Amino acid sequence: MEKLWTEVDAMLEAHLAPPESVLIEGIERAKEAEMPAIAVTPLLGKLLMILAQSIGAKRILEIGTLAGFSTTWMARALPPDGKLISLEFEPKHAAVARENVDAAGVGDKIEILVGPALDLLPQVEGPFDLVFIDADKENNPHYYAWARKLTRSGSLILVDNVVRDGKIVDSTITDPHVQGVRDLLKAIREDQGVEATAIQMVSGKEYDGFALIRVN
């Protein structure tokens, strides 16, 4: 099946999110800097962009910048006076992301703050229309709590990588990254103030998924 879904992904991408030189150059920069290739796929990046467009997002918060791919997709949805704040732990990642978002022509709308997200979040001023959580998975429950504090009624919160090859249902796996996802799901279940769903995804080599939460 893996071969088939890789082929299907390539066809969907070719039709719906065709290669862009500016993004390909960004991937090259990330490779040169020896950064992991774990960014959103173009199809998922586009979903982020379309969601942001659909809710008329003007302020977006991202946790986990890497090389700025999800950042760029979401920033493309912003109006001229819109703003995206992205939090990144690794200075090298933040530097490459800065080059990439500038090259993509969206840099003026993006502020990248460098440090552990949990140290930065108390300085961040809400409310945000969209929050994308995609950093160290063990802190997902904390990031979710912050996202709730920094959003308003109608805001969306999207959390990447909630399936992790299905590891979440294997009780013999106690890896904190996987446990972080389980604790996140529990926190959402106990949260009376939101509607939430999640989608499993296959893409290329990966079996993963995302959760989408709307604040009531």
Separation between Cα atoms, residue 207 and residue 133, nearest integer Å: 18
Nearest to 53 by CA among 70, 86, 71, 76: 76
Separation between Cα atoms, residue 16 and residue 117, nearest integer Å: 33
Which member of 134, 156, 209, 215 binds ligand DHB (CB under 6 A)? 134
Give the contact letters, 127-166, x = binds to Mg ion (CB under 5 A), - = no. -------x-------------------------xx-----
Question: Is residue 146 close enough to count as binding ligand SAH by CB under 6 A?
Answer: no
Question: Is residue 70 close enough to count as binding Mg ion by CB under 5 A?
Answer: no
Burial class of residue 117, CB neighbours in 10 A (0-12, 13-18, 19+)? buried
Which member of 47, 117, 131, 159 binds ligand SAH (CB under 6 A)? 117
Tell me the residue ranges of DSSP E strands in 49-205.
59-63, 83-88, 110-114, 128-133, 151-160, 194-203
Question: Is residue 163 close enough to count as binding ligand SAH by CB under 6 A?
Answer: no
Separation between Cα atoms, residue 131 and residue 127, nearest integer Å: 10
Contacts 24+ apart (CB under 8 A), 167-172: none
* Contact partner at residue 184 from Mg ion, ligand SAH, ligand DHB, none, CB < 5 to 8 Å by partner kind: none
Q: Which listed range, 19-27, 53-61, 84-92, 166-174, lies at the site for ligand SAH (CB under 6 A)? A: 84-92
Q: Which listed range, 8-16, 33-41, 123-131, 200-208, lies at the site for ligand SAH (CB under 6 A)? A: 33-41
The amino acid occupying position 5 is: W
Complex with Mg ion: residue 58 or 196, whichever CB lies closer? 196
Residues that bind ligand SAH (CB under 6 A): 38-40, 64-66, 69-70, 87-90, 93, 116-117, 134-136
